[in-house]
Amino acid sequence: MKDVYDILGEEWTIASAGGSTGEAYYAQNQNKRLFLKRNSSPFLAVLSAQGIVPKLVWTKRLENGDVITAQEWLEGKELNPEEMQHPTVANLLSAIHHSTELLDMLTRMGKKPIDPFLMYNNITKEIAQVSQNVVPLIVHQSLSFLTDHLSDLHDVKKMVCHCDLNHNNWLVSDIGQLYLIDWDNAQIGDPALDLGMLLHWYIPESDWDDWLDNYGIVNENNLFIRMHWYMMIEVLTAYVNNHKANKQLEAAKHLNELERLLNRAVSYKK
Protein backbone atom coordinates (compact mmCIF):
# COMPACT_ATOMS: atom_id res chain seq x y z
CA MET A 1 0.00 0.00 0.00
CA LYS A 2 3.04 2.28 0.36
CA ASP A 3 3.13 3.00 -3.36
CA VAL A 4 -0.50 4.17 -3.17
CA TYR A 5 0.49 6.67 -0.46
CA ASP A 6 3.39 7.75 -2.70
CA ILE A 7 0.86 8.74 -5.34
CA LEU A 8 -1.74 10.39 -3.11
CA GLY A 9 0.27 11.66 -0.16
CA GLU A 10 0.19 10.91 3.56
CA GLU A 11 -2.79 13.23 4.11
CA TRP A 12 -5.05 10.57 2.54
CA THR A 13 -6.72 7.84 4.58
CA ILE A 14 -6.57 4.54 2.69
CA ALA A 15 -8.44 1.35 3.57
CA SER A 16 -8.85 -1.99 1.84
CA ALA A 17 -12.02 -2.34 -0.23
CA GLY A 18 -11.94 -6.11 0.20
CA GLY A 19 -12.38 -8.43 -2.76
CA SER A 20 -10.57 -11.62 -3.65
CA THR A 21 -7.42 -9.94 -4.98
CA GLY A 22 -6.86 -7.47 -2.13
CA GLU A 23 -5.85 -4.88 -4.72
CA ALA A 24 -8.73 -2.43 -4.28
CA TYR A 25 -8.82 0.48 -1.84
CA TYR A 26 -10.96 3.34 -0.63
CA ALA A 27 -9.14 6.65 -0.23
CA GLN A 28 -10.39 9.79 1.48
CA ASN A 29 -8.96 13.24 2.11
CA GLN A 30 -11.48 15.58 3.72
CA ASN A 31 -14.25 15.89 1.09
CA LYS A 32 -12.30 14.08 -1.63
CA ARG A 33 -13.00 10.38 -2.03
CA LEU A 34 -11.70 7.84 -4.54
CA PHE A 35 -11.94 4.14 -5.30
CA LEU A 36 -8.49 2.82 -6.24
CA LYS A 37 -7.55 -0.43 -7.94
CA ARG A 38 -4.26 -1.95 -8.99
CA ASN A 39 -3.89 -3.28 -12.55
CA SER A 40 -7.45 -2.79 -13.70
CA SER A 41 -8.19 -3.78 -17.26
CA PRO A 42 -7.75 -1.06 -19.91
CA PHE A 43 -11.39 -1.90 -20.63
CA LEU A 44 -12.23 0.35 -17.66
CA ALA A 45 -11.74 3.55 -19.67
CA VAL A 46 -14.38 2.58 -22.24
CA LEU A 47 -16.78 1.44 -19.52
CA SER A 48 -16.34 4.77 -17.76
CA ALA A 49 -16.85 6.77 -20.96
CA GLN A 50 -20.18 5.00 -21.50
CA GLY A 51 -21.34 5.55 -17.92
CA ILE A 52 -21.44 1.82 -17.15
CA VAL A 53 -19.02 2.14 -14.21
CA PRO A 54 -18.32 5.16 -11.97
CA LYS A 55 -16.22 7.83 -13.66
CA LEU A 56 -12.50 7.14 -14.16
CA VAL A 57 -10.63 10.09 -12.62
CA TRP A 58 -7.02 9.21 -13.41
CA THR A 59 -4.61 6.40 -14.26
CA LYS A 60 -1.00 6.29 -13.07
CA ARG A 61 1.77 3.82 -13.90
CA LEU A 62 4.24 2.89 -11.16
CA GLU A 63 7.96 2.26 -11.62
CA ASN A 64 7.42 -1.49 -11.24
CA GLY A 65 4.95 -1.46 -14.13
CA ASP A 66 1.78 -1.71 -12.05
CA VAL A 67 -1.06 0.62 -12.98
CA ILE A 68 -3.24 2.34 -10.38
CA THR A 69 -6.66 3.62 -11.46
CA ALA A 70 -8.83 6.03 -9.49
CA GLN A 71 -12.60 6.22 -9.89
CA GLU A 72 -15.26 8.33 -8.27
CA TRP A 73 -16.36 6.91 -4.94
CA LEU A 74 -20.11 7.43 -4.96
CA GLU A 75 -22.72 7.31 -2.28
CA GLY A 76 -25.11 4.49 -3.04
CA LYS A 77 -25.84 0.82 -2.47
CA GLU A 78 -25.76 -2.60 -4.06
CA LEU A 79 -28.99 -3.89 -5.53
CA ASN A 80 -30.81 -6.51 -3.53
CA PRO A 81 -32.08 -9.64 -5.35
CA GLU A 82 -35.62 -8.28 -5.72
CA GLU A 83 -34.36 -5.07 -7.35
CA MET A 84 -32.83 -7.10 -10.18
CA GLN A 85 -36.37 -7.26 -11.61
CA HIS A 86 -36.38 -3.50 -12.27
CA PRO A 87 -36.55 -2.43 -15.95
CA THR A 88 -33.41 -0.29 -15.58
CA VAL A 89 -31.38 -3.47 -15.06
CA ALA A 90 -32.70 -4.89 -18.33
CA ASN A 91 -32.11 -1.56 -20.08
CA LEU A 92 -28.48 -1.26 -18.95
CA LEU A 93 -27.65 -4.88 -19.75
CA SER A 94 -29.10 -4.46 -23.24
CA ALA A 95 -27.01 -1.32 -23.80
CA ILE A 96 -23.91 -3.22 -22.71
CA HIS A 97 -24.60 -6.22 -24.93
CA HIS A 98 -25.26 -4.05 -27.97
CA SER A 99 -22.31 -1.67 -27.52
CA THR A 100 -20.01 -1.81 -30.54
CA GLU A 101 -17.42 0.25 -28.64
CA LEU A 102 -17.17 -2.32 -25.85
CA LEU A 103 -16.97 -5.17 -28.35
CA ASP A 104 -14.25 -3.40 -30.32
CA MET A 105 -12.20 -2.75 -27.18
CA LEU A 106 -12.35 -6.35 -25.96
CA THR A 107 -11.43 -7.54 -29.44
CA ARG A 108 -8.42 -5.21 -29.57
CA MET A 109 -7.39 -6.52 -26.15
CA GLY A 110 -7.12 -9.98 -27.72
CA LYS A 111 -10.31 -11.55 -26.36
CA LYS A 112 -11.61 -14.40 -28.50
CA PRO A 113 -15.32 -15.32 -28.60
CA ILE A 114 -16.42 -18.06 -26.22
CA ASP A 115 -16.67 -21.36 -28.09
CA PRO A 116 -19.67 -23.38 -26.81
CA PHE A 117 -18.25 -26.53 -28.40
CA LEU A 118 -15.09 -26.11 -26.33
CA MET A 119 -17.20 -25.52 -23.22
CA TYR A 120 -19.11 -28.73 -23.98
CA ASN A 121 -15.95 -30.76 -24.54
CA ASN A 122 -14.36 -29.44 -21.35
CA ILE A 123 -17.34 -30.25 -19.14
CA THR A 124 -17.72 -33.76 -20.56
CA LYS A 125 -14.05 -34.45 -19.85
CA GLU A 126 -14.36 -33.04 -16.32
CA ILE A 127 -17.40 -35.17 -15.56
CA ALA A 128 -15.70 -38.29 -16.90
CA GLN A 129 -12.74 -37.67 -14.57
CA VAL A 130 -14.69 -37.10 -11.36
CA SER A 131 -17.53 -39.56 -11.79
CA GLN A 132 -15.37 -42.72 -12.01
CA ASN A 133 -17.72 -44.28 -14.58
CA VAL A 134 -20.76 -43.74 -12.33
CA VAL A 135 -22.60 -40.77 -13.81
CA PRO A 136 -25.77 -39.67 -11.98
CA LEU A 137 -28.80 -40.04 -14.24
CA ILE A 138 -29.60 -36.31 -14.23
CA VAL A 139 -26.03 -35.51 -15.29
CA HIS A 140 -26.31 -38.01 -18.13
CA GLN A 141 -29.65 -36.51 -19.18
CA SER A 142 -28.26 -32.97 -19.00
CA LEU A 143 -25.29 -33.93 -21.17
CA SER A 144 -27.73 -35.42 -23.68
CA PHE A 145 -29.62 -32.12 -23.73
CA LEU A 146 -26.38 -30.22 -24.34
CA THR A 147 -25.46 -32.60 -27.16
CA ASP A 148 -28.88 -32.42 -28.80
CA HIS A 149 -28.93 -28.62 -28.80
CA LEU A 150 -25.39 -27.76 -29.84
CA SER A 151 -26.75 -26.85 -33.27
CA ASP A 152 -29.00 -24.20 -31.69
CA LEU A 153 -25.88 -22.24 -30.75
CA HIS A 154 -24.80 -21.79 -34.39
CA ASP A 155 -24.73 -18.38 -36.04
CA VAL A 156 -25.53 -16.36 -32.92
CA LYS A 157 -24.28 -12.77 -32.90
CA LYS A 158 -21.48 -12.42 -30.34
CA MET A 159 -21.59 -9.53 -27.88
CA VAL A 160 -19.75 -8.39 -24.75
CA CYS A 161 -20.88 -10.50 -21.80
CA HIS A 162 -20.18 -9.56 -18.19
CA CYS A 163 -20.32 -13.21 -17.01
CA ASP A 164 -20.84 -12.40 -13.32
CA LEU A 165 -24.20 -10.65 -12.94
CA ASN A 166 -24.47 -11.23 -9.19
CA HIS A 167 -26.69 -8.58 -7.61
CA ASN A 168 -23.68 -7.38 -5.58
CA ASN A 169 -22.08 -6.13 -8.81
CA TRP A 170 -24.99 -3.77 -9.56
CA LEU A 171 -24.69 -0.42 -7.81
CA VAL A 172 -27.19 2.42 -7.71
CA SER A 173 -26.02 5.88 -6.65
CA ASP A 174 -27.96 8.10 -4.27
CA ILE A 175 -29.18 10.06 -7.30
CA GLY A 176 -30.49 6.90 -9.00
CA GLN A 177 -27.70 6.17 -11.51
CA LEU A 178 -27.23 2.43 -12.09
CA TYR A 179 -23.78 0.92 -12.63
CA LEU A 180 -22.43 -2.57 -13.32
CA ILE A 181 -18.96 -3.16 -11.82
CA ASP A 182 -16.33 -5.93 -11.56
CA TRP A 183 -15.52 -6.62 -15.19
CA ASP A 184 -12.59 -8.99 -14.62
CA ASN A 185 -14.50 -11.95 -16.11
CA ALA A 186 -15.85 -10.17 -19.20
CA GLN A 187 -15.95 -12.24 -22.38
CA ILE A 188 -17.21 -12.07 -25.94
CA GLY A 189 -20.03 -14.52 -26.46
CA ASP A 190 -23.71 -15.30 -26.82
CA PRO A 191 -25.75 -12.82 -24.73
CA ALA A 192 -27.90 -15.80 -23.69
CA LEU A 193 -25.04 -16.63 -21.31
CA ASP A 194 -25.71 -13.47 -19.28
CA LEU A 195 -29.46 -13.50 -19.76
CA GLY A 196 -29.94 -17.08 -18.64
CA MET A 197 -27.96 -16.65 -15.44
CA LEU A 198 -29.73 -13.43 -14.47
CA LEU A 199 -33.23 -14.69 -15.24
CA HIS A 200 -32.67 -18.04 -13.58
CA TRP A 201 -31.39 -16.62 -10.30
CA TYR A 202 -33.40 -13.43 -9.97
CA ILE A 203 -36.55 -13.26 -12.11
CA PRO A 204 -39.70 -15.36 -11.53
CA GLU A 205 -40.34 -17.40 -14.67
CA SER A 206 -43.80 -15.82 -14.99
CA ASP A 207 -42.05 -12.44 -15.45
CA TRP A 208 -39.42 -13.53 -17.99
CA ASP A 209 -41.37 -12.26 -21.02
CA ASP A 210 -41.84 -8.80 -19.48
CA TRP A 211 -38.21 -8.57 -18.35
CA LEU A 212 -36.95 -9.56 -21.79
CA ASP A 213 -39.35 -7.07 -23.38
CA ASN A 214 -37.65 -4.33 -21.35
CA TYR A 215 -34.31 -5.70 -22.55
CA GLY A 216 -35.60 -5.49 -26.11
CA ILE A 217 -35.93 -9.10 -27.19
CA VAL A 218 -38.72 -11.67 -27.57
CA ASN A 219 -38.60 -14.81 -25.44
CA GLU A 220 -38.77 -17.33 -28.28
CA ASN A 221 -37.77 -21.00 -28.39
CA ASN A 222 -34.20 -20.62 -29.63
CA LEU A 223 -33.32 -18.03 -26.98
CA PHE A 224 -34.95 -20.15 -24.25
CA ILE A 225 -32.93 -23.22 -25.30
CA ARG A 226 -29.67 -21.25 -25.49
CA MET A 227 -30.19 -19.73 -22.05
CA HIS A 228 -30.80 -23.14 -20.52
CA TRP A 229 -27.83 -24.62 -22.37
CA TYR A 230 -25.46 -22.14 -20.73
CA MET A 231 -27.19 -22.45 -17.36
CA MET A 232 -26.67 -26.21 -17.43
CA ILE A 233 -23.00 -25.71 -18.23
CA GLU A 234 -22.70 -23.40 -15.21
CA VAL A 235 -24.46 -25.81 -12.85
CA LEU A 236 -22.54 -28.82 -14.15
CA THR A 237 -19.29 -26.92 -13.59
CA ALA A 238 -20.33 -26.11 -10.02
CA TYR A 239 -21.27 -29.77 -9.50
CA VAL A 240 -17.84 -30.92 -10.71
CA ASN A 241 -15.99 -28.39 -8.54
CA ASN A 242 -17.90 -29.39 -5.40
CA HIS A 243 -17.50 -33.08 -6.20
CA LYS A 244 -13.73 -32.58 -6.51
CA ALA A 245 -13.68 -30.72 -3.18
CA ASN A 246 -15.65 -33.57 -1.57
CA LYS A 247 -18.52 -31.21 -0.78
CA GLN A 248 -21.16 -33.80 -1.47
CA LEU A 249 -24.06 -31.86 0.05
CA GLU A 250 -23.38 -28.93 -2.26
CA ALA A 251 -22.92 -31.29 -5.20
CA ALA A 252 -26.31 -32.84 -4.45
CA LYS A 253 -27.91 -29.37 -4.50
CA HIS A 254 -26.51 -28.83 -7.98
CA LEU A 255 -28.01 -32.13 -9.13
CA ASN A 256 -31.40 -30.92 -7.92
CA GLU A 257 -30.84 -27.64 -9.76
CA LEU A 258 -30.01 -29.54 -12.94
CA GLU A 259 -33.25 -31.48 -12.67
CA ARG A 260 -35.27 -28.25 -12.39
CA LEU A 261 -33.45 -26.75 -15.37
CA LEU A 262 -33.89 -29.82 -17.54
CA ASN A 263 -37.58 -30.22 -16.71
CA ARG A 264 -38.22 -26.57 -17.54
CA ALA A 265 -36.23 -26.72 -20.76
CA VAL A 266 -37.85 -29.85 -22.20
CA SER A 267 -41.37 -28.77 -21.26
CA TYR A 268 -41.11 -25.31 -22.80
CA LYS A 269 -43.74 -24.53 -25.39
CA LYS A 270 -44.06 -21.11 -27.03
Is 164 tagged catalytic? Answer: yes
Report yes or no: 230 and 193 within 8 Å, Cβ to Cβ. Answer: yes
Distance CA 54, CA 31 (A): 17
Burial of 27 (0-12, 13-18, 19+ CB in 10 A): buried
Active-site option among 164, 182, 184, 210 = 164
CA-wise closest residue to 78 among 203, 164, 170: 170
Is-contact 83 24, C-beta < 8 A? no
Give the amino acid at 24: A
Using DSSP's 3-state secondary structure scheme, residue 110 falls into: coil
182: left (phi over 0), alpha (psi -120 to 50) or beta: left
**CB-CB contact of 268 with 221 (8 Å):** yes
Q: How far is the CA of 53 from the CAs of 50, 99, 160, 269, in angstroms?
A: 8, 14, 15, 38
- 229: nearest Cα among 122, 143, 125, 121: 143
Contact present, 204 and 176 (Cβ < 8 Å) = no
**Hey, which residues are catalytic here?**
164
